Amino acid sequence: MITELGHFALILALFVAMIQSTVPMIGAARRHVGWMAVGRSCALIGFALTALAMLSLMHAYVTSDFTVINVIENSHTDKPLLYKITGVWGNHEGSMLLWVFMLSLCAAAVALFSDNLPPALRARVLAVQGMIAVGFLLFILLTSNPFLRTFPAAPNGNGLNPVLQDPGLAFHPPFLYLGYVGFSVAFAFAVAALIEGRVDAAWARWVRPWTLASWCALTIGIAMGSWWAYYTLGWGGWWFWDPVENASFMPWLVGTALIHSSIVVEKRDTLKSWTILLAIITFSLSLVGTFLVRSGVLTSVHAFATDPERGTFILLLLVAAIGGSLTLYAIRAPSLKGGGLFAPISREGALVLNNVLLSCGCATVFLGTLYPLFLDAMGGPKLSVGFPFFNRTFAPMMVPMIIAVGIGPMLAWKRGDLLGALQRLWVAYIATALVLLVAFYLTYGGPVLAVFGLGLAAWLGSAVLTEFAERVRLFRVPLGDSLRRAIHLPRSAYGMSFAHFGLAVSVAGFAASAWDKEAIEILKPGGSIAIAGYELTLESVTRVPGPNFMADDAAIRVTRDGKLVKMMHPERRFFPLQKQTTSETSIRTNFLTDLYVALGESDTQGDWTVRVYWKPLVPWIWIGCVIMAFGGVVSLSDRRWRVGAAARSARRGMAEPVTAAGE
Amino acid sequence: MRRFLLLIAILMLVATAARAVEPAERLADPGLEARARVISSQLRCLVCQNESIDESGADLAHDIRMFVRERLVAGNTNAAVIQAVVDRYGAFVLLKPPIEPATYVLWYGPPTLLAIGLLGTLIWLKRRQSTPAETAPLSTDEARRLDGLMRGNDA
Amino acid sequence: MKRLIYLLPLVLFLGLAGYFLVALRPNHDVHELPSVMIDKPAPVFDLAGLGDSKPLALDALKGHPFVLNFFASWCVPCRQEHPLLMRLATENHIPLYGIAYKDKPVDSNRLLASFGDPYRQVGIDQDGRVGLNFGVYGVPETYVIDSKGVIQKRFVGPLTAESVEKELLPLLKQLGRS
């Protein structure tokens, strides 16, 4: 019954989305206030309906309703409650529902927090979002319906792939999708602006919080996925340049460029058509990613079970959404006027360089990801494009970029003083040189590129700190004055510093992975392995039952200089239902290095393969991502950009009603 | 399509017992073993996608690792060993695609694009500097709107 | 001229969409790897026979075209094609030879005992080395080899009634004539 309610809600949501995509658009064209206002109610109703659909599917999972095909295929009564809930999006149909739910969440958010938008712009933005919703609701209802029933009920379900039964992966998709779908807001704003033929500083200011919020969610989503791979795979790999990973990385790269270029639009009233294009491309890449993952045209470890019919449908959606918006772009963008002189050596110049490098980086990832497909389509040879390609092409582009990130914020708007900026960065040179020397000395004879990478991280980190010190005029004015300056700095400045510093931290983590050590041995209980000054002794392996698996739990005593550091418990879990074994690694971190232990298989004599890795700075990769996302959130909290800030003050009567001014 | 996924599933099923390079596979000679690791990290595991055979737990990856080591023990050079695997499975096993006419676009595309991007930006900037500023002043309602925003924030 | 630049993204996207369309064409499996062994001499093998069968050696098979099928008892898709293999052996009387790939002889024997034995002879490739030399990356795989021992065709995955009718049998017929 509840399942039918959800199904019905989803169908109703489709009709509501159809109204949302047409009525406000016509209203905006005819300047009919009532018609324009329809968009807002539709967005809210649509959200309520998709939420209802989502909840009822969850209900079917939680109550193990085995008349629902989707539940049979992906759930089981023995599954822990958490994974019954998160199992909802552990499959194609359910994850598409999550996708649409996030989309309606974004539309509802726009509807709620857009009092400061001119009604026509708001109506058009909501209409564009409605169109996207129509496409994807149709896709779900026609090709991937999670509410289909079967009778009689199955005795039990097939269960969820054990690999997916993990907290890290349970929450990775919601963040990732919030990021992907969040970019639809920027996309809708871009399309609305093209229809209106106007892009100005106010527009950039409105788009910015939405882009930032999606970017934060995407950053966290990608980091979670990578962290999950790290602790799950049993040897500590965290990035494979796999097509599906690349599919999430490309919108991140262009989204990052978009955040930066929209600043230029806001401050200098230029770079407009480029920013619009970036907004379109960012969301387009999210859509292309969805297509790649779900159509089966690319081979990937992560891909869902696929179906060509679905692929064709998504391709149609792509052509409608991307083709349509780019056509509009081709027609309208030439008339968008940019103003202002533009000196190469200036803050805006640095931001343009950032945009060029990030866009080329994204294009490189795109080429590497799709090239095998191109060759195949043209009847060429079958090729793999793996990490060596990306290390040789993408990485070198990011080097000048990271160097420039250190300098850019030191340059003034309009006309910067490069020499002055470089002089003021003297502290950063010293810090970089010190780190380079120490790293080179400590790892003499080791990989030189890693030392260089660490130097880059040191450069960026110290440049960010120097820039901050400059802003508060540290040591130039009395400390109290600096403190006062620090308090009065806008949040967005803090946000930038955090985000850039986070990048430095992550880069250090990437670079240091070249110094990983590994030790793989076959141990009898009592045997031990030595690695990086630690001594690991396998004390015992005991069999422990879990909720829906049987675990072999190894007790490993870790000592350093004879003193106990930690008892570690890596496990091998056998899931009888799927006849699958997973490895539950044990990681001991002190935030500088990780000691990583995985239990391998045993032979008949009771010997166990134990894999131990020592990984310097690897936690910094994800700490850096968290700092980056935190920077985004801090910037988001800046009162100038806070969503609806103007609206609130407008209600208090402190400013003119902006909405009227927009007309 | 489905077939293939099924195949992978089956292969993985058999394979999950093993995980990446196994102690039993290792060669006694540390020099040869180090070379084996280097070679393994450049060969793609055919059934697991974008993972090297050194990292993969698949059964086939294990077989190829053993094959590589046998060849090394027999005295083959690294290049000869890699060629032997390519002779059997095709260039698909190379994680680093070879530089040949079919991959010119792949390899030379990114640097070309970067050059075009930088050059284009430079030209655009030059043009921007020579044309006198056509700074579009804010229209009155834009100014009012912005003003409203700013005041709203300062409140 | 200036307008053309703004048209560029659309043109690039349409090109991309075209490629996607090609990639989605029906009956095209992007995952299938073409064999690099086609038109090359089959790798030499000399395998112990399964059960009471004689050893299976390439040299002994040369002289007439034959079909070589890699199978295993642990491989589920193999069971799917098994009835078809039985029909090929009993009705079409094609020279079908089997290689038990990475399988314990006991298990292979049990499989053939319970589902029937379509093979004229079966060789044991327990360490998978012959499979590796052939470039096998997933069982079942089926090779058509001509009388000179040159590989003519490879089928990856279970044979289907369609692939047998349209490809395997006509190819065998043509090889038998020449």
Q: Is residue A290 within 8 Å of residue A248, measured between CB atoms?
A: no
DSSP H helices, A378-425, are 387-407, 418-424
pLDDT score of C29: 66
Cα–Cα nearest to A326, from C3, C15, B117, C13: C13
Give CA separation, A393 vs A124, A257, A365, in Å.
40, 19, 9
pLDDT score of A492: 87
C99/A433 Cα distance (integer angstroms): 62
The reply to whether residue A295 touches residue C21, judged by beta carbons under 8 angstroms, is no
Residue A658, pLDDT > 80, answer no
Helix (H) or strand (E) holding A465: helix A448-471
DSSP characters for A564-627?
EEEEE--EEEEETTTTEEEEE-EEEE-SSEEEEEEEEEE-TTS-EEEEEEEEETHHHHHHHHHH
> Domain spans of chain C?
35-177
Residue A637, pLDDT > 80, answer yes
Angstroms from A102 CA to nearest CA on chain B: 29
Tokens of A555: 């007790």
Q: What is the mean pLDDT of residues B104-127?
A: 91
A508/A460 Cα distance (integer angstroms): 10
Per-residue pLDDT band for C2 (boundaries 50, 70, 90) equals low
Contacts of B59 in chain C (CB under 8 A): 102, 128
Type of residue found at B153: N
CATH number of the CATH domain containing B62:
1.10.8.640
CA dihedral C56, C58, C62, C68 (to 10 degrees): 70
pLDDT score of C26: 67
Q: Are residues B89 and B105 in the same domain?
A: no
Architecture field, domain C35-177: 3-Layer(aba) Sandwich (3.40)
The reply to whether residue A356 touches residue B118, judged by beta carbons under 8 angstroms, is yes
Structural domain total, chain B: 2
CB of C14 within 8 Å of any CB in chain A? yes
Q: Is residue A620 within 8 Å of residue A501, measured between CB atoms?
A: no
**More confident call, B152 vs B120:** B120
Residue A258, pLDDT > 70, answer yes
CB of B4 within 8 Å of any CB in chain C? yes
Neighbours of chain B (3+ CB pairs under 8 A): A, C
Mean pLDDT of the residues in chain A: 87
A647/B63 Cα distance (integer angstroms): 66
In 10 A of CB A412, how many CB atoms? Answer: 12
Q: Is residue A6 within 8 Å of residue A148, measured between CB atoms?
A: no
Nearest to B88 among C32, C75, C132 (CB): C132
CB of B59 within 8 Å of any CB in chain C? yes
The reply to whether residue C10 touches residue A273, judged by beta carbons under 8 angstroms, is no
Percent of the residues in chain A that have a pLDDT greater than 70, as a whole number: 94
pLDDT score of A394: 94
Per-residue pLDDT band for A534 (boundaries 50, 70, 90) equals very high
The reply to whether residue B7 touches residue C74, judged by beta carbons under 8 angstroms, is no
pLDDT score of C20: 86
pLDDT score of C138: 81
Report pLDDT digits (tens) over A332-355: 888 887 666 677 888 888 999 999
The reply to whether residue A600 touches residue B19, judged by beta carbons under 8 angstroms, is yes
Give CA separation, A58 vs A3, A71, A95, A563, B138, in Å.
9, 10, 12, 49, 51
Q: What is the mean pLDDT of residues A44-55?
A: 95
Give Cβ neighbours of residue A588 (< 8 Å, ≥ 6 apart). Answer: A558, A565, A566, A568, A594, A595, A597
pLDDT score of A657: 35
Q: What is the mean pLDDT of residues A303-317?
A: 75
CB of A447 within 8 Å of any CB in chain B? no
pLDDT score of A277: 94
Percent of the residues in chain C that have a pLDDT greater than 70, as a whole number: 95
Tokens of A650: 């407008």
- Domain A1-161 CATH class label: mainly alpha
Report pLDDT digits (tens) over A469-478: 888 888 778 8
Nearest residue on chain B to C76, alpha-carbon basis: B10
Contacts of C138 in chain A (CB under 8 A): none
Cα–Cα nearest to A663, from A112, A36, A40, A121: A121
Nearest to B49 among A242, A349, A363 (CB): A242
CA-based end-to-end distance of chain A: 47
Percent of the residues in chain A that have a pLDDT greater than 90, as a whole number: 47
The reply to whether residue C33 touches residue A382, judged by beta carbons under 8 angstroms, is yes
Type of residue found at B100: E
Q: Which of residues 10-49 of B touch C (CB under 8 A)?
A: 10-11, 14, 46-47
CB neighbour burial string for C132-156, b if at least 16 within 10 angstroms, e if fewer: bbbbbbbbbbbbbbbeebbbbbbbb
A75/A93 Cα distance (integer angstroms): 13
Q: Are residues B72 and B132 in the same domain?
A: no
pLDDT score of A536: 92
Per-residue pLDDT band for B14 (boundaries 50, 70, 90) equals very low
Report pLDDT digits (tens) over C16-47: 998 888 887 766 666 677 788 888 888 988 88
pLDDT score of A86: 86
CB of A413 within 8 Å of any CB in chain B? no
Q: Please tell me whether residue A400 adopts helix, strand or coil conformation.
A: helix
Cα–Cα nearest to A337, from A265, A266, A272: A272
Of A208-217, A413-422, C8-17, the range with the lowest mean pLDDT is: A413-422
Residues of the domain holding B9: 2-93
Nearest to A235 among B55, B128, B149 (CB): B55
Q: What is the mean pLDDT of residues A298-302?
A: 54
Q: What is the mean pLDDT of residues A130-135?
A: 95
Nearest to B89 among C31, C36, C127 (CB): C36
Helix (H) or strand (E) holding B142: helix B140-154
Q: Is residue C51 within 8 Å of residue C81, measured between CB atoms?
A: no
Helix (H) or strand (E) holding C66: strand C66-71
Burial of A59 (0-12, 13-18, 19+ CB in 10 A): middle
Per-residue pLDDT band for A18 (boundaries 50, 70, 90) equals very high
pLDDT score of B139: 62
Of B93, B119, B143, at which residue does a domain stop?
B93
Q: Which of residues 104-133 of B touch C (CB under 8 A)?
A: none
Q: What angle do CA A2, A3, A8 make, to 5 degrees?
A: 95
A220/A228 Cα distance (integer angstroms): 12
Per-residue pLDDT band for A305 (boundaries 50, 70, 90) equals low
Angstroms from B121 CA to nearest CA on chain A: 8
Report pLDDT digits (tens) over A563-612: 999 999 999 988 888 778 888 899 999 899 999 999 888 877 888 889 89
Of B93, B115, B141, at which residue does a domain stop?
B93
Residue B103, pLDDT > 70, answer yes
CB of C91 within 8 Å of any CB in chain A? no
Nearest to A323 among C6, C7, C14 (CB): C14
Contacts of A654 in chain B (CB under 8 A): 151-152, 155
pLDDT score of A426: 87
Q: Are residues B112 and B78 in the same domain?
A: no
Helix (H) or strand (E) holding A460: helix A448-471
Per-residue pLDDT band for B131 (boundaries 50, 70, 90) equals low
pLDDT score of A165: 80
pLDDT score of A378: 82
pLDDT score of B141: 66
A65/A167 Cα distance (integer angstroms): 23
pLDDT score of A600: 85
Per-residue pLDDT band for A317 (boundaries 50, 70, 90) equals very high
Tokens of B137: 């002043």
Angstroms from C6 CA to nearest CA on chain B: 14
Q: Are residues B84 and B109 in the same domain?
A: no
A55/A65 Cα distance (integer angstroms): 14
In 10 A of CB C93, how many CB atoms? Answer: 8
pLDDT score of A655: 36
Highest-scoring range by mean pLDDT, A398-402, C35-39, C40-44, C153-157: A398-402
Give Cβ neighbours of residue C44 (< 8 Å, ≥ 6 apart). Answer: C58, C59
DSSP characters for A538-571?
EEEEEEEE-SSSEEEEEEEEEEETTEEEEEE--E
Q: Are residues B131 and B79 in the same domain?
A: no
Contacts of A360 in chain B (CB under 8 A): 110, 113-114, 117
Per-residue pLDDT band for B20 (boundaries 50, 70, 90) equals low
Walk across the sheet containing C151-156 and list its strands: C121-125, C96-101, C66-71, C141-145, C151-156
pLDDT score of A663: 27
Per-residue pLDDT band for A150 (boundaries 50, 70, 90) equals confident
Per-residue pLDDT band for A652 (boundaries 50, 70, 90) equals very low
Give Cβ neighbours of residue B104 (< 8 Å, ≥ 6 apart). Answer: none
The reply to whether residue C31 touches residue A312, judged by beta carbons under 8 angstroms, is no
C115/C11 Cα distance (integer angstroms): 56
Report pLDDT digits (tens) over C54-77: 888 888 888 889 999 999 988 888
pLDDT score of A587: 92
Q: Is residue A450 within 8 Å of residue A458, measured between CB atoms?
A: no
Nearest to A330 among C7, C17, C30 (CB): C7
For β-strands C96-101 and A534-545, DSSP reports them as unpaired
Nearest to B110 among A300, A301, A364 (CB): A364
> Domain spans of chain A?
1-161, 517-619
Q: Is residue B78 within 8 Å of residue B67, measured between CB atoms?
A: no
Q: Is residue C141 within 8 Å of residue C156, measured between CB atoms?
A: yes
Of A54-58, A121-125, A640-644, B75-79, the range with the lowest mean pLDDT is: A640-644
**More confident call, A343 vs C129:** C129
B26/A519 Cα distance (integer angstroms): 12
